[in-house]
Structure 1
Amino acid sequence: MGEKLFRQTLPTEAVCGDAIIDMGQDKSVLILIQHCRDMKQQETRLRLVTLLLLLSCTALFIFTICANLWQHGNSGSSGQECAVEPSPAYSKQESPTANPQTNTQKLHIDLTSLGAANKTDGLYMKWHVNFGDQDNKEKSAIVIPEDGFYFVYVSIALSCNEGDFNRFYVELRNWNEAYPSTRPVMKTWDGCTSEGAKSVFLGQLFELSKGDNLSVWIGEGYELISTSSFGAYLA
């Protein structure tokens, strides 16, 4: 009899244990489902906040562009009114073309050498004016009209003949009525080593005074010169 009761209680305990296990699994599933729902809600909220921030930045950007355009439009209209109605002080100013000082500031003279019948050494080169009028034709020199810094250049093309070495020497000289002694301010030695054309260039920035006369003196190798140019302009 006792054995029968014991045998009957075993299935009942087993059934209760399975029920407890089943109830625990259902609770875990419910917690997992609730967690997924919470995550989806948070994700939805983040997306909404991101969208609102994006819309706010776009609106601020558009507002900034419109404000700049409006400001430039107002400044342009005010500048146009100023141009139409200049102040009396401005209307009394002289035109730049009527100011001789401004014309002097634009000095640029360029000369080209003339063919010399006598190409002996120790002579000043003669020049033809390409443009500019600040030159002394009698003394074949460039005359500086005003004090300032001037870039002066001399470019000479040599025609070298086959044979012995031919030397060439040139000086840029300067003189002024205030100090009439002539002095070289730029010079160079060169020469021909083979047949053909060769170029010699001198260029330098000088601080010159009004009345300075610049001229090119050939000390040796005048007969080698084929063409040359000489000029100065205010830096």
Structure 2
Amino acid sequence: MGQSLIGHTLPADAACGNAMIDMGPDRSLLILLKHCRDMKQQETRLRIITLLLLLGCTALFIFTICVDLRPHENSVSSGQGSAAERGPSHSKQVRVSPADSQTNFKRLRIHLRSVSEDNKTDPRLIRWDVDFGENNYDNKKRAIVIPEDGFYFVYVWVALGCHQVDRASNFKEFKVALHKWTEGYNCNVTLIEAWDGITCTPDGKRSVFVGQLFELWKGDHVSVWINRGYKLITKSTFGAYLA
């Protein structure tokens, strides 16, 4: 009886080895399945979090647009209401832009050309014909009228020549000046003047140009004054523009 028990009993280390071989694959499979389940749960959480972030950003963007549009709508509606209350005359005034106002009242551009006259005597003012800018020309005073305060470039060009009766003289002197008349002072002020001359030869011709930037005031009258050599003038131009 003791021999039969010994013959059927397994060693302890052999029994343990068989147990480990039997349990190893099942345990590894369980660990792998658990790991896969955890990864899927994490992936699902990340997707949910990403979707919530996208929804939040979209809602914030729509809210920002709505907030920006409300003040604009209010300003447009209030502006339309004000224009309607003030009537058509106010609407017409609003349509006049600052650029148009500046063009109509401040952007002075005028150009004059001389007109020949008989019985010339020195000194005197030149008689002018307007090429453009007649609204700013005073024919009585033969002067350019400044419409607004500002800096203006004023110029005059004169062509000189000797008459046949003056051929005996060797040299003729010419003197021109730009004068400014101001209503407040009621007097003429010399802005600039120039001297020149011409030798009376068969081919004797010459031209004189005077131009400068001046600070002028509304209502000033600028004119060309010939102090000497008026008879030498064959033609001339005179003009001004806002710089």
- Normalising by structure 2, we get a TM-score of 0.57
* Structure number with larger C-alpha Rg: 2
1:179-198 correspondence runs (5 A): 179-195=185-201, 196-198=204-206
Q: Cα RMSD (Å) of the superposition? A: 2.6
Cα distance in 1 between the residues matched to 2:148 and 2:97: 17
Deviation at 1:97, TM superposition (A): 8.6
1:94-133 correspondence runs (5 A): 94-96=95-97, 99-133=100-134
CA offsets 1:43-89 (integer angstroms, 9 cap, x no match): xxxxxxxxxxxxxxxxxxxxxxxxxxxxxxxxxxxxxxxxxxxx846
1:1-235 correspondence runs (5 A): 88=76, 93-96=94-97, 99-133=100-134, 134-160=136-162, 162=167, 163-195=169-201, 196-235=204-243
Q: Which runs of 5+ in 2 are unaligned?
A: 1-74, 84-90
Report if the CA contact (8 A) 2:106-2:147 is conserved: no
Cα distance in 2 between the residues matched to 1:140 and 1:96: 33
CA offsets 1:153-187 (integer angstroms, 9 cap, x no match): 00000013543210001111001111111111110
Q: What stretches of structure 1 move > 2 A for 4+ residues in a row?
A: 87-102, 160-163, 193-196
Report if the CA contact (8 A) 1:160-1:198 is conserved: no
Q: Percent identity?
A: 50
Report if the CA contact (8 A) 2:175-2:227 is conserved: yes
For residue 142 of structure 1, what is the amino acid of its counterpart? Answer: I
Deviation at 1:105, TM superposition (A): 2.8
Cα distance in 1 between the residues matched to 2:175 and 2:208: 10
Cα distance in 1 between the residues matched to 2:155 and 2:101: 25
Report if the CA contact (8 A) 2:181-2:221 is conserved: yes
For residue 179 of structure 2, what is the amino acid of its counterpart? Answer: R
- Normalising by structure 1, we get a TM-score of 0.59
Cα distance in 2 between the residues matched to 1:203 and 1:192: 20
